[in-house]
Amino acid sequence: MTQSASSVWSRQCGAALLVLAIVGCGCATALAELSVNSSFPGGSGKVVRIDQENQKVVLEPSRRPNRGWECWWYVRIDGATAGATLLVDVGDAPWATPERASISVDNKAWRFTKPGSRARSRIAYSIEAPAEQFWLAWGPPFTPADAQRLVDRSSKHADATAFELCKTREMRKVPALHVRKGDEAKRHVVWVQARQHAWEAGSSWVCQGLTDWLISDEERAGLLRDRAEVFIVPIMDIDNSAVGAGGKNQIPRDHNRDWDDKPYWPAVAAAQEKLRELNTEQRLDIFIDLHNPGATARHPYFYIVPRHLLNRRGQRNLNSFLACSREEMSGPLSFVGQTVESGSGYDRNWKRISKNWVSLNSAPHVVSVTLETAWNTPHSDAAGYQQVGRQLGLAVERFLRTDPK
């Protein structure tokens, strides 16, 4: 290269670098602008304010009129600076303010943030941004696509078959799984369903833990498959789970107050029809409805049918199931024996609660319970919830060693 050619080159190069610097600088400014998005399956998050200068986001759950409690939130944050601290402030307590939020860089693997700081009805999480883009949620999300994936991959097992419980009122599929070894109908049937309340995503993780265990190579999972058929519905309220609504106390009816002779929700009607059939065949033994409870619960516990409604066999089976659960559900989210009767003193619509409806409409020996898995503890992450599910499966296996009929 000659002297003059070199200086032309360096002038051109310098100009090009200057242009690059301007473009780069423009990009950097755009990237540093925090933005919040919740327009994706299960997403929820109304932005109250974004303070760019102080890197603070003020959020609330999205407004979803008539679709139940506004407590669930799940957003994607863009424009963060990796490694920099930002503050995400959310309300209202108690339902929308878990001690720790859940954070993910790939929208798949979730971990907890540090505990937030509370001020009146709100909580502020101080977060070190793991990347320019990341996801933040009330708890580890579990969407209808996750339910479909769970059912699809489980149905590759020789003993499991996918089925569609029904279509929802908004014409979405309700994926479900039937686990049965061999072609013969089994003498014992277990029904497990989760997520009648859409915000209770943890209950679907419990359901996934149980399902994965049930079709695993573990010896006791095989023993349970030898003995019983299991029906599994990972999400009952698909519509609200799909749009990130809370669901609890939705209009016109709470999903778990819809269990009467004229259910409004197709998933309730479809479950009732199948449960009636199983009961008529004298095969139903256990019904388990999976939920998450109030913010102060530290351990999983069971809602049980008012004991005075149970005959001696029913009482004996319930006690035996609870004893097996106590033995197997050893934690870290452990069942320490707490139960609550949900009868007329609990709710005037108590007969329309699923596990009560099942008990009132099935043989006296049937064990019908609601498991409430604590969500506001350091162990209430996807791994902790799935461990509860596995241990619940072990409790079922132990209980069915003696014939409840």
Q: Which residues bind Zn ion (CB under 5 A)?
A: 197, 200, 291
Tokens of 261: 């002779």
For residue 228, how far is the Cα from the chain centroid? 25
Measured distance CA(287)–CA(232) in Å, rounded:
10
Measured distance CA(269)–CA(272) in Å, rounded:
5
Closer Cβ to Zn ion, 70 or 200, answer by number: 200
Q: Residue 315 CB, nearest distance to Zn ion (Å)? A: 25
**DSSP secondary structure string for all residues of 286-310:** EEEEEE---TT--S-EEEE--GGGS
Q: Residue 197 CB, nearest distance to Zn ion (Å)? A: 4
Q: Residue 149 CB, nearest distance to Zn ion (Å)? A: 23
Measured distance CA(275)–CA(322) in Å, rounded:
22
Q: Give Cα separations from 112 to 101, 102, 127, 214, 394 (angstroms).
A: 6, 5, 10, 27, 27
Closer Cβ to Zn ion, 116 or 263, answer by number: 263
Which amino acid, residue 295?
A: A
Closer Cβ to Zn ion, 250 or 377, answer by number: 250
Q: Which helix (H) or strand (E) holds 188?
A: strand 188-194
CB neighbours of residue 188 within 10 Å: 19
Closer Cβ to Zn ion, 200 or 381, answer by number: 200
**DSSP secondary structure string for all residues of 12-57:** HHHHHHHHHHHHHHHHHHHHTS-EEE--STT-B-EEEEEETTTTEE
Which amino acid, residue 131?
A: A
Q: Taking Cα atoms as reference points, which of 169, 152, 304, 298 lies closest to residue 234? A: 152
Closer Cβ to Zn ion, 225 or 355, answer by number: 355
Reported in sequence order, the residue ranges of 219-364 that DSSP labels E, i.e. its strands, are: 228-233, 284-291, 301-304, 339-341
Q: For the chain, give me the number of helices (H) and strands (E)?
A: 9, 18
Q: Residue 170 CB, nearest distance to Zn ion (Å)? A: 20
CA angle 277, 203, 146 (to 5 degrees): 90
What phi and psi, each to the nearest 5 degrees, are found at residue 202? -60, -30
Q: Residue 267 CB, nearest distance to Zn ion (Å)? A: 14
Q: Residue 104 CB, nearest distance to Zn ion (Å)? A: 24
Q: Residue 200 CB, nearest distance to Zn ion (Å)? A: 5
Closer Cβ to Zn ion, 95 or 135, answer by number: 95
Closer Cβ to Zn ion, 355 or 365, answer by number: 355
Closer Cβ to Zn ion, 122 or 197, answer by number: 197
Closer Cβ to Zn ion, 127 or 206, answer by number: 206
Measured distance CA(145)–CA(107) in Å, rounded:
13
Closer Cβ to Zn ion, 154 or 342, answer by number: 342
Q: Residue 140 CB, nearest distance to Zn ion (Å)? A: 17
Closer Cβ to Zn ion, 122 or 291, answer by number: 291
Q: Residue 342 CB, nearest distance to Zn ion (Å)? A: 11
User: Do 92 and 61 form a contact (C-beta atoms < 8 A)?
Assistant: no
Q: Taking Cα atoms as reference points, which of 344, 340, 372, 370 lies closest to residue 358? A: 370
